[in-house]
Amino acid sequence: MKKFKLKTVIIFILMIGILPVQSQYFNQKPRVFVLTDIENEPDDAQSLVRFLTYSNMWDVEGIVATTSCWQRDKTAEWRIHEIVDAYGKVRDNLEKHESGYPEYGYLKGIIKKGVPKFGMAGVGEGQDSEGSEWLIKALEKDDDRPLYVQAWGGANVLAQALWKMERTKTKAELDKIISKIRVYTISDQDDTGPWIRNNFQEIFYVVSPGYEENGGGQYHLATWTGISGDKFHGRFVGPDFSIVDNPWLDEHIRNNHGPLGAEHPHTEYLMEGDTPSFLGLVNNGLNNPEHPNYGGWGGRYELYIPPFKKYMYEPELRPIWTDADDEVYGPATKSNHTSNQATIWRWREAYQNDFAARIDWSNTSDFKKANHPPIAKLDHPNELLVHSGDKVTLSAGGSTDPDGNNLAYNWMLYKEVGTLNISRGGLEFKDANAQVTSFEAPKTDKVKTMHIILSVTDEGAPSLTRYQRVIVNIMPKVK
């Protein structure tokens, strides 16, 4: 009995100690560095438009035009400049709605280009580029924050930076730099991704490994396709496709929505395939990019060594953050679907409405003529310690809306996250759609965790959603 109580106290102290990591991550802006094979098809330009509407949330340190398997011997930095020029026309409008948007001149100065070669042909002696040198400069900064490197195309700019630093720095210096790198690549669009993962095995790497070749590759299996891809072989597989299709985008983003929205091109294959790389960095109360297994707008990923498949360049030699499944109700079929893409499309209505609102911001300086996200707030900590059988009360009583809109609430058990398996029967909330809810802590014979997501949605147009995550640590019932 005494030993059990002591263990309880120790666990509680440890949990209090990690609270800032889990609930206060966005106290500092994340640092972001983009590698894009823009102009290989329209989706990179689409993603860049959305990216810029959220650029107040991050310290953007570089936007580099790269090659890929679809664009092997040229880069298209000119297109980045075109879209940033459009941003420059609306930046002051955006700033009226949320502060912190980077100055136009600053963004122009961080647009660079990589070597115009494919994959590993652009890595090695004599393959430095202004893009790889700029990335090294960012990595060398005296800044303890991670640098989130997003590869929307090929990753040879990152590979060249690592190749050079391995030869010009001490192991201790390089290890310190690598400890701050966070990579999210949109599959493997050249052969440098596997080379990076297998030669620098400590790098934090999020990827659905594999490449696409003549339509017979991996892309339709990748997590990131959940951003808009859900109609394969003519069949809807769950989510609402209409809100990522061209008619919706024409109405809410492109037409009569100002110069930035007008730069969002017509979708030819998949809307914004690169957007998941940064959706997980949006400060919405749900996302925590240091924990890809928690799930968020950019998807959910687990750390393991995936088995080798014929569409992969080479076997993975160590655990990477990669595909994980969620079971989600699909409005298109009115039934549940289980897939890795569902870890993204489950949030589709929220992230599409959010983008539409930000494009509205870009088109007006009048705060009253646009909708703004609610502020989701808990009346208790984001992490709780309870015992089996306890009545647990959760409250969003501190939530408000800057526009004075009415708020709707929803409490959801994220059953795939945490260590408690309660999929059978789920968790019974007293009222899942009330500002205050409660439930009975499930029975367990050892310490387990579960994640409960609060969604707060306003009644504005478009309706916007913000979140809070409650991590409940359940101890066995004290006897």
> Residue 231 above 90 pLDDT?
no
Q: What is the predicted pLDDT for the residue at 230?
A: 67
What pLDDT score was predicted for residue 19?
40
For residue 165, give both structure tokens: 């630093």
* Gap between the Cα atoms of 429 and 411, Å rounded: 8
H-helix or E-strand spanning residue 46 = helix 43-53
Q: Above 80 in pLDDT, residue 147? A: yes
Distance of CA 406 to the CA centre of its chain: 28
Lowest-confidence range among 48-62, 353-367, 465-479?
A: 465-479
User: Considering the chain, what percentage of its residues have pLDDT values greater than 90?
Assistant: 85
Tokens of 368: 């009253």
Task: Give the distance from CA 178 to its chain's centroid.
Answer: 20
Strands 391-395 and 436-440: antiparallel
Q: Is it the case that residue 235 has pLDDT exceeding 70?
A: no
283 confidence band (pLDDT: 50, 70, 90): very high
Q: Which residues contact 307 (CB under 8 A, 6 or more apart)?
A: none
User: If you compute the radius of gyration of the chain from its CA atoms, what whole number of angstroms results?
Assistant: 23
Residue type (1 letter), 358: R
Confirm if 271 and 231 have CB atoms less than 8 A apart: no
- Per residue in 329-372, pLDDT tens? 888 888 888 999 999 999 999 999 999 999 999 999 999 999 99
How far apart, in whole angstroms, are the C-alpha atoms of residue 85 and residue 281?
24
Looking at residue 215, its pLDDT comes to: 55
- Torsion over CA of 115, 116, 121 and 124, rounded to 10 degrees? -10
Specify the pLDDT at position 17.
38
Range scoring the smallest mean pLDDT among 23-37, 118-132, 174-188, 438-452? 23-37
Closest CA to 243 of 334, 342, 331, 328: 331
Cβ atoms of 61 and 178 within 8 Å: the answer is: no
Q: How confident is the model at residue 182 (pLDDT cuts 50, 70, 90)?
A: very high
* Residue 190 confidence (pLDDT): 96
Whole-number Å distance between alpha carbons of 161 and 245: 38
The DSSP call for residue 299 is -
Q: Which fold has domain 28-362?
A: Inosine-uridine Nucleoside N-ribohydrolase; Chain A (3.90.245)
- Count of residues in the chain: 479
Q: Report cis status (omega within 30 of 0) of the bond before 209.
A: no
* C-alpha span between 108 and 152 (Å, rounded): 19
- 290, 302, 279: which is closest to 145 by C-alpha? 290
Mean pLDDT for the stretch of residues 449-460:
97
pLDDT over threshold 50, residue 381: yes
Strand, coil or helix: 63: strand
pLDDT at 11: 40
Cross-strand pairs, 136: none
List, for residues 287-313, the tens digit of each pLDDT value: 999 999 999 999 999 999 999 999 999
Cα–Cα dist 33/89, whole Å: 23
Q: How confident is the model at residue 23, as a pLDDT? A: 43
pLDDT at 244 (0 to 100):
95
The CATH class of 372-475 is mainly beta
pLDDT reported for residue 15: 42
Predicted pLDDT at 8: 41
Please, where in the chain does CATH 3.90.245.10 lie?
Answer: 28-362
pTM of the model: 0.93
pLDDT score, position 363: 97
| Structure tokens belonging to residue 113 | 């280009």
Confidence of residue 424 (pLDDT cuts 50, 70, 90): low
Q: Angle 310-291-311 (CA atoms, 0-180°, nearest 5)?
A: 5
Give CA angle at 307 (306, 309), nearest 5°. 115
Q: How far does CA 236 lie from the centroid of its chain? A: 24
pLDDT (average), residues 247-274: 96
Q: Each residue of 9-38: pLDDT tens digit?
A: 334 433 433 343 344 467 899 999 999 999
Residue 117 pLDDT > 60: yes
Give me the mean pLDDT over the 38-61 stretch: 97
Give the distance between the most distant pair of CA atoms in the chain: 70
CA atoms within 13 A on the CB side of 464: 24
All CATH 2.60.40.10 domain ranges of the chain, comma separated, are 372-475
AA identity, residue 4: F
CB 165 within 8 A of CB 136: yes
